[in-house]
């Protein structure tokens, strides 16, 4: 949730930290701070607000000159966003930045209070800073080891000790932390984009491994303090991927990147016209043998799983149970060693999804992760991994990650259906070819940008909105609804179109717009009837369907027409106008599209 960085090298550390933090602002943006060694003292600047405010404050206070320091951008968990709750925490001797939650912080705080420590902030992090001080014995590694023995929860920590200038210590458990390796410089960071401008080489850290960055190089120690060698990873994301590239917002850029992202994700997994997911160990024999498939995820990733359910069940004829990870992990789910549990996550760090995955493994199920970030915790924990190749997704509202996730579900469904003998090889090749045509089709849909902007202008003053659809359109409309509400702050819900008249239709008035998605032609007439019912009660209907189908005025006020591909694949096409409508509604309402209020990109707390 929070973003942490650290830099040691020859450059102006303050400048590098601010630059790196700006790349991590998607992880949290309610306050920010840095701590830098200046003439062997630790100098701290922190403030409520964004990185730009932090920069102003630093300049106002005369700047900080140094070559080694740590930084933080916060998403508040304990204590409101304020100057005093901002990181770094500590004192003149020890300074720390933290991402995660220390679950037993109250107990530690009470203990430290009995030892005379006085607390300023409401944060859990301050207890770690003071516990480090309590255990400090002149040996940072030993001190950190002692503290790790006491704290419970999740953490990625960057630590400075005044007695060891120009050194950064860092450690992680269940919160991401990587070590960037440049020429004569090194970094710690929550995510690759933080240092991508300087290097694409990095080490992954495992639980309770401690890294020390010094002028002698980078040393990594295991939890017992023994030095270890790590494999150097190379990120294939380039710097442009983490920049806006001329777009007003990352979200718009990422919507437009979908054709390329889908292509990059599916192309390597199609051999001789057939889907082939064997790279991850998922053979056709294995696929055909599962009794049930579970899809467990959060938010948009869970919505991708809903599309996966409809597709797998419709052609693969295996029951698919979709669950939100925060429910699944606490409901003692009936998962056995005959089942496949698929977890889906853009970041690969979502705490609930990670725990659901661990639980599924304990229950003996095979686990497959569909993940965007290479080497992330979820990718490392799962038995099998399929990486989506969306590149970095910076906007908090997920768009291209959704499209590539459902693209993988299509490949999986086609292969599974073929493996089970539910579809012929010819049909499997036909469907796969249809999937390969999606990127080109999306280029056409993206040209409807102006129409979507116009439709958004009709929604801008709405306070409530409904999305309706049937079958795959219902699964898709859930994503449309989430997208709109998270960035426009208009209350919105998604309903199975046939369910509306069982209560919700009483909300319909001329101030309640309805977005009806009707791409499934076997269900088309039924959705049209539901749209008419809404119109008859004064509701304004925006109708999303195939462009060749005309609808009368008693069905819709506005229509968005889509190019036609196989109905099974239409969610891949129809999601684009829903994303664009959400985007433009947010822009027109003057919101901060990429950093909507109260949210953060990567949810590493429960
Ligand atoms: O990184 P993940 O895919 O695991 O994240 C899951 C959700 O937090 C995420 O999809 C969230 O719902 C997005 N803000 C939606 O746009």
**DSSP class of residue 174?**
B
Indicate if 406 and 490 belong to the same structural domain: no
In angstroms, the CA 33 to CA 47 distance is 6
In angstroms, the CA 192 to CA 179 distance is 9
Confidence at residue 572, expressed as pLDDT on a 0 to 100 scale: 98
Supply the residue whose CA is at minimum distance from atom 11 of ligand 1.
299
Residue 576 has pLDDT above 90, yes or no: yes
CA nearest neighbour of 579 among 480, 489, 506, 436: 480
Q: Which of 297, 301, 606 for a ligand 1 pocket mutation test, highest count of atoms within 8 Å of Cβ?
A: 301
Indicate if 474 and 577 belong to the same structural domain: yes
In-domain check, residue 603:
no
**Per residue in 63-118, pLDDT tens?**
999 999 999 998 878 888 888 899 999 999 999 999 998 999 999 999 999 999 99
Tell me the CATH number at 225: 3.60.20.10
In-domain check, residue 103:
yes
The pair of three-digit structure tokens given for residue 576, joined into one six-digit string: 């684009």
Taking the CA of residue 441 as centre, how many other CA atoms within 13 Å lie in the half-sphere pointing to its CB?
24
Supply the residue whose CA is at minimum distance from atom 8 of ligand 1.
299
Among residues 190, 213, 242, which one ends one of the domains?
242
Confidence at residue 599, expressed as pLDDT on a 0 to 100 scale: 85
In-domain check, residue 601:
no
Ligand 1 midpoint to CA 601 (Å) = 7
Q: Which of 255, 298, 370, 488 for a ligand 1 pocket mutation test, highest count of atoms within 8 Å of Cβ?
A: 298
Where is average pLDDT lowest: 5-14, 33-42, 301-310, 545-554?
Answer: 545-554
Rounded to the nearest integer, the mean pLDDT of the chain is 94
Number of domains in the chain: 3
For the segment 458-474, the average pLDDT, to the nearest whole number, is 96
Q: Using the atom order of ligand 1, give the atom closest to the CA of residue 402.
A: 10
**Per residue in 42-70, pLDDT tens?**
999 999 999 999 999 999 999 999 999 99
Classify residue 283 as exposed, middle or buried by CB count within 10 Å of its CB (0-12, 13-18, 19+). middle
Indicate if 587 and 451 belong to the same structural domain: yes
Q: Using the atom order of ligand 1, give the atom closest to the CA of residue 601.
A: 14
Among residues 217, 242, 267, which one ends one of the domains?
242
In-domain check, residue 604:
no
Domain of residue 406: give its range. 244-436
Indicate if 187 and 248 belong to the same structural domain: no
Indicate if 418 and 467 belong to the same structural domain: no
Among residues 219, 242, 265, which one ends one of the domains?
242
Residue 233 has pLDDT above 80, yes or no: yes
**Per residue in 516-537, pLDDT tens?**
999 999 999 999 999 999 999 9
In-domain check, residue 199:
yes
Ligand 1 midpoint to CA 299 (Å) = 5
Indicate if 161 and 199 belong to the same structural domain: yes
Indicate if 173 and 52 belong to the same structural domain: yes
Catalytic residue numbers read: 2, 601
Indicate if 321 and 422 belong to the same structural domain: yes
Confidence at residue 575, expressed as pLDDT on a 0 to 100 scale: 98
Q: Which of 323, 346, 595 for a ligand 1 pocket mutation test, highest count of atoms within 8 Å of Cβ?
A: 346
CA nearest neighbour of 61 among 81, 48, 72, 47: 47
pLDDT band at 220 (very low <50, low <70, confident <90, very high): very high
Ligand 1: does its nearest atom lie under 6 Å from the Cβ of 179? no
Classify residue 324 as exposed, middle or buried by CB count within 10 Å of its CB (0-12, 13-18, 19+). middle
Q: Using the atom order of ligand 1, give the atom closest to the CA of residue 300.
A: 10
Q: Which residue has the tokens 């749209």?
A: 531
Ligand 1: does its nearest atom lie under 6 Å from the Cβ of 399? no
pLDDT band at 245 (very low <50, low <70, confident <90, very high): confident
In-domain check, residue 315:
yes
**Per residue in 291-335, pLDDT tens?**
999 999 999 999 999 999 999 999 999 999 999 999 999 999 999
In-domain check, residue 313:
yes
In-domain check, residue 599:
no
Indicate if 464 and 381 belong to the same structural domain: no
Ligand 1: does its nearest atom lie under 6 Å from the Cβ of 127? no
Indicate if 248 and 234 belong to the same structural domain: no
**Per residue in 391-402, pLDDT tens?**
999 999 999 999
Indicate if 73 and 145 belong to the same structural domain: yes
Ligand 1 midpoint to CA 243 (Å) = 20
Beta-carbon contacts of residue 319 (< 8 Å; ≥ 6 apart) = 291, 292, 293, 313
Ligand 1: does its nearest atom lie under 6 Å from the Cβ of 593? no
Indicate if 308 and 169 belong to the same structural domain: no
Tell me the CATH number at 501: 3.40.50.10490
Ligand 1 midpoint to CA 509 (Å) = 32
């Amino acid at each position: 949730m929070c973003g942490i960085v650290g830099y040691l090298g020859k450059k102006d550390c303050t400048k590098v930290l601010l630059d790196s933090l700006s790349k991590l602002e998607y992880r949290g943006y309610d306050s920010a701070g840095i701590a830098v060694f200046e003439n062997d003292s630790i100098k701290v600047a922190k403030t409520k607000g964004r990185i730009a405010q932090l920069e102003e404050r630093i300049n106002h206070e005369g700047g900080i000159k140094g070559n080694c320091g740590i930084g933080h951008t916060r998403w508040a968990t304990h204590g409101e966003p304020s100057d005093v709750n901002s990181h770094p925490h500590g004192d003149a001797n020890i300074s720390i930045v933290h991402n995660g939650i220390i679950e037993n912080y109250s107990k530690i705080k009470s203990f430290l209070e009995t030892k005379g420590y006085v607390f300023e902030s409401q944060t859990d992090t301050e207890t770690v800073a003071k516990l480090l001080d309590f255990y400090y014995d002149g040996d940072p590694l030993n001190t950190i080891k002692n503290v790790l023995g006491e704290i419970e929860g999740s953490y990625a920590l960057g630590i400075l000790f005044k007695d060891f200038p120009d050194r950064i210590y860092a450690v992680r458990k269940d919160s991401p932390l990587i070590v960037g390796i440049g020429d004569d410089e090194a970094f710690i960071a929550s995510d690759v984009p933080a240092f991508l401008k300087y290097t694409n080489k990095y080490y992954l850290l495992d639980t309770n491994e401690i890294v020390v960055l010094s002028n002698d190089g980078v040393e990594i120690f295991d939890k017992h303090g023994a030095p270890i060698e790590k494999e150097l990873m190379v990120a294939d994301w380039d710097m442009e991927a983490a920049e806006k590239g001329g777009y007003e917002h990352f979200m718009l850029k990422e919507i437009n990147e979908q054709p390329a992202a889908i292509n990059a994700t599916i192309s390597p997994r199609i051999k001789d016209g057939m889907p082939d997911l064997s790279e991850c160990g998922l053979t056709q024999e294995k696929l055909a043998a599962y009794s049930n498939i579970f899809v467990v995820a959060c938010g948009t990733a869970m919505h991708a799983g809903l599309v996966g359910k409809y597709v797998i069940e419709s052609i693969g004829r295996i029951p698919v149970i979709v669950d939100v990870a925060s429910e699944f992990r606490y409901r003692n789910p009936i998962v056995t060693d005959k089942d496949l549990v698929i977890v889906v996550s853009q970041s690969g760090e979502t705490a609930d999804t990670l725990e659901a995955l661990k639980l599924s493994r304990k229950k003996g199920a095979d686990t497959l992760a569909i993940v965007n970030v290479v080497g992330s915790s979820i990718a490392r924990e799962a038995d099998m991994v399929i990486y989506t190749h969306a590149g970095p997704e910076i906007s908090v509202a997920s768009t291209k990650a959704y499209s590539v996730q459902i693209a993988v579900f299509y490949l999986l469904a086609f292969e599974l259906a073929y493996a089970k003998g539910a579809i012929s090889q010819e049909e499997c090749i036909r469907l796969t070819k249809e999937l390969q045509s999606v990127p080109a089709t999306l280029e056409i849909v993206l040209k409807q940008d102006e129409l979507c902007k116009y439709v958004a202008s009709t929604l801008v003053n709405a306070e409530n909105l409904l999305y309706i659809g049937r079958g795959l359109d219902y699964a898709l409309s859930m994503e449309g609804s989430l997208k709109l509400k998270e960035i426009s702050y208009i209350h919105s819900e998604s309903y199975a179109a046939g369910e509306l008249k069982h209560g919700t239709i009483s909300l319909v008035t001329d101030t309640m717009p309805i977005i009806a998605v009707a791409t499934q032609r076997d269900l088309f007439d039924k959705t049209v009837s539901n749209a008419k019912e809404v119109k008859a009660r004064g509701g304004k209907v925006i109708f999303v369907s195939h462009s060749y189908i005309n609808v009368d005025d008693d069905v819709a006020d506005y229509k968005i027409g889509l190019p036609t591909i196989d109905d099974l694949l239409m969610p891949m096409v129809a999601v684009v106008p829903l994303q664009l409508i959400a985007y433009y509604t947010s822009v027109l309402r003057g919101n901060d599209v990429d950093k909507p209020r109260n949210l953060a990109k990567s949810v590493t707390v429960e």
